[in-house]
Amino acid sequence: MSDASAPSERHRQGMATRRAVLGDRHVDRAQAATTDFDRPFQDLITEAAWGHVWSRPGWTKRERSIVTIALLAALGRDEEVAMHVRATANTGASREDICEALLHVAIYAGVPAANHAIKIAKQVLADMDAGKAA
pLDDT tens-digit map of 101-133: 999 999 999 999 999 999 999 999 999 999 975
Short-list 81, 73, 79, 82, CA closest to 106: 73
Domain assignment present for 43: yes
Domain assignment present for 90: yes
Domain assignment present for 100: yes
Task: Say whether both 30 and 76 belong to one domain.
Answer: no
Task: Give how many domains the chain has, as a whole number.
Answer: 2
Task: Say whether both 92 and 41 belong to one domain.
Answer: no
pTM higher than 0.85, yes or no?
yes
Domain of residue 89: give its range. Answer: 61-129
Task: Say whether both 68 and 98 belong to one domain.
Answer: yes
Short-list 54, 107, 55, CA closest to 84: 54
Domain assignment present for 4: no
Task: Say whether both 76 and 44 belong to one domain.
Answer: no
